[in-house]
Amino acid sequence: MSKNIYFFIGTEAELIKVFPVIVECQNNGAICNIIASGQNDITKSRIMEFTKLNGKFLELSKEESITKSALGLMKWFVKTKKLAAKAIENEFGQQELQGAYMVIHGDTVSTMMGAMVGKKLGMIVCHVEAGLRSHNLFNPFPEEIDRLVSSRMSEIHFAPGDEPAKNLKNAKGQVVNTKQNTLIDSLRFSENIPVDINIAEILSDDYFVFVMHRQENLANKKFVCDVAAEIINVSKQYKCVLILHEITKNAFKKFGIMDMLDKEDNIILQPRVDYFDFMKLLKNARFVITDGGSNQEELFYMNKPCLIMRKTTERREGLGKNARLFNGDASDIRKFVSEYKNNKREVSGILNERPSQLIANILIGGII
């Protein structure tokens, strides 16, 4: 009889890092089921086409029901978590769930929800990308808290490297060092996906990528305006592909800089593209300026010079090598651009790791 494994997924970022594990599990005979919290509508993700799910898909809520604010997210969390256990039991059956694996990922509020619900249902909670710590409870917020709570409720911890594994030395249950993040398998998979025709022309150009979508950055008008001025200045030298997340676009409009950016011939205001195309945009870029934690990992594996626009990070990938942290002043962008060619190092040995395969082996048969 095939083994049922349950994956609790809230955001597309989680799906990106978990789908190679699902593919590996299915290739080895397991039946994989996805429980989607609805924090993001992952049904719209192109990744679902390639996951080829062989089990059930249960969606607990709809993304459009979430008010786009911190308070709105909190209300959604409380409401969805309250109804989740019953909905999951009704779909899969109480006996089927007892002792089954509930796989959660990362550090979102959905990660914490999945851990809580899995524990309540008597499931074995398995945390992929466990053990990352900034050691600062409120930075990044709420991610650090999400990880701490999720770790307490997990019985199997898949840590992506020596430092995350060390952070879990006092954790209950089994700690498995996967050496690298499952993101490396996602990147490997993305290389074989054809590029969308809409960005093909950009890829043939010489450009850098700019991404800013974290609320703590976008909430500060002076900072956003200063950064925009620096990006415009850099674009005089190198073409800029500026990724417009919805939250980014709204902030730029609110602060009156969208029209200013739109008038710049050397700035391409690029709406978000799917994961596979975004990876191609990053890989072909001269360098990248971003505030995304996952981008830090992706760019490490690509050996791409990058400036991480965060004062602290729970990730260590690339720091002091291809990446460095932002000093908090917009003028640091200028300094990074003048020095970016120095940010290179060798990653060839790392690229042979298969963390998703290791995780799948354990989920299916306890093999390390």
Instruction: Give me the helix-helix angle, 109-120 and 70-92, nearest 10°.
Output: 30
Full 3-state SS string of 210-232:
EECCCHHHHCCHHHHHHHHHHHH
- 69 Cβ partners below 8 Å, 6+ apart? none
Greatest Cα-to-Cα distance within the chain, rounded to the nearest angstrom = 63
Has domain 195-342 been given CATH number 3.40.718.10? no
Question: Residue 349 has what pLDDT?
Answer: 59
Domains 4-180+353-365 and 195-342 belong to one CATH topology: yes
The DSSP secondary-structure symbol of 120 reads H
pLDDT per residue over 165-207, tens digit each? 999 999 999 999 999 999 999 999 998 888 877 788 898 889 9
* Cα–Cα distance, 243 to 245 (Å, whole number): 6
For range 136-146, the mean pLDDT = 87
- Taking 90 as the threshold, does the pLDDT of residue 1 lie above it? no
- Tell me which residue has tokens 């997990």: 154
Q: How far apart are CA 313 and CA 333, in angstroms?
A: 18
C-alpha 176/C-alpha 359 separation (Å) is: 9
Beta strands 306-308; 323-325: pairing state: parallel
Residue 124 confidence (pLDDT):
97
pLDDT band for position 367 (50/70/90)? low
Sign (positive or negative) of CA dihedral 18, 23, 25, 31:
positive
Q: Where are the beta strands (DSSP E) in the chain?
A: 4-9, 31-36, 57-59, 101-105, 124-128, 156-159, 174-177, 207-211, 239-244, 267-271, 288-290, 306-308, 323-325
Cα–Cα distance for residue pair 136/144, rounded to 1 Å: 7
Does 1.10.10.10 match the CATH number of domain 4-180+353-365? no
Please report, for the chain, the start and end positions of each structural domain, with discontinuous segments joined by +.
4-180+353-365, 195-342
Return left, alpha or beta for 201; rule: phi > 0 is left, psi -120 to 50 is alpha, else beta.
Answer: alpha
pLDDT band (50, 70, 90) for residue 320: confident
Q: In what order do the strands lie in the sheet with 101-105?
A: 57-59, 31-36, 4-9, 101-105, 124-128, 156-159, 174-177
Q: What are 272-308's pLDDT values in tens digits?
A: 999 999 999 999 999 999 998 889 999 999 999 999 9
Helix locations, 269-312, DSSP H: 275-283, 293-302
Q: What is the mean pLDDT of residues 199-227?
A: 92
Cis peptide preceding 160, ω within 30 of 0: no
- Higher-scoring residue by pLDDT: 1, 188: 188
Q: How far is CA 90 from the centre of its chain?
A: 30
Q: Cβ distance 273 to 196 under 8 Å?
A: yes
**pLDDT, mean of residues 301-323:** 87
CA gap 186, 161 in Å, rounded: 17
CA distance linking residue 126 with residue 100, whole number of Å:
10
pLDDT at 118 over 70: yes
